[in-house]
Amino acid sequence: MRLVLATRNRGKLVELRRILDADPALPVVELCSATDVELPEVEEHGATFAENALLKARSATAATGLASLADDSGLVVDALQGDPGVRSARYAGAHGDDEANLRLVLERMRGVEDRRARFVCAAALVASDGREWVEEASVAGTLAHAPRGAGGFGYDPIFVPVGESRTTAEMPPAAKDAISHRGRAFRAIAAHLAQL
């Protein structure tokens, strides 16, 4: 089965391939990214993670004629009234500047005692015949005061899941995938692949 993953984020591509490969019940999937096929840029103007994921998956399917997967995910911080939220990838201005985004969250959290946060992911699958599925998942945690770890991407170096002392950037990939918002959402959406 050939699927398009509607992202240019290499970290997401590696993570999704790892998640899909780990499930022996799934069909063999050839995963193409936005760098492998010509995909238009999509303005993520949705008010929710699910809306943005569907915008990207629909656009990829329309452009390629193939079934497409997309996600929109981000960090939701209680003390920041839900920010960065759906703007997580562009929180500091430029899209995909992980270092600047992380730095801005830490600046805004300086001196704040309530460090509760959660990672949220909405995964969307759009078939070439127009059928659509969306699955959402989240993982609760707290924010570290400084980045730790070299794994993962995005806000992983400052996010400590509930029950963990490590940030998700310090966790081995398989351990992170087992509990992560993206791992949970993509395992749920992968269950729909058999319907394609």
Euclidean distance between CA atoms 54 and 41, whole angstroms: 14
Contact 1, 28 (CB under 8 A): yes
Strand partners, 157: none
71 in active site: no
Tell me which residue of 152, 56, 55, 75 sits closest to 120, measured CA to CA: 75
Residue 181 CB contacts under 8 Å (≥ 6 apart), including other chains: 73, 118, 119, 120, 121, 137, 138, 139
Alpha-helix runs per DSSP H in 29-172: 49-64, 98-108
Catalytic residue (choose from 71, 72, 98, 177): 72
Element (DSSP H or E) covering residue 133: strand 132-143
Among candidate residues 73, 93, 59, 103, the one with its CA nearest the CA of residue 11 = 73
C-alpha 196/C-alpha 193 separation (Å) is 6
Positions marked active-site: 72
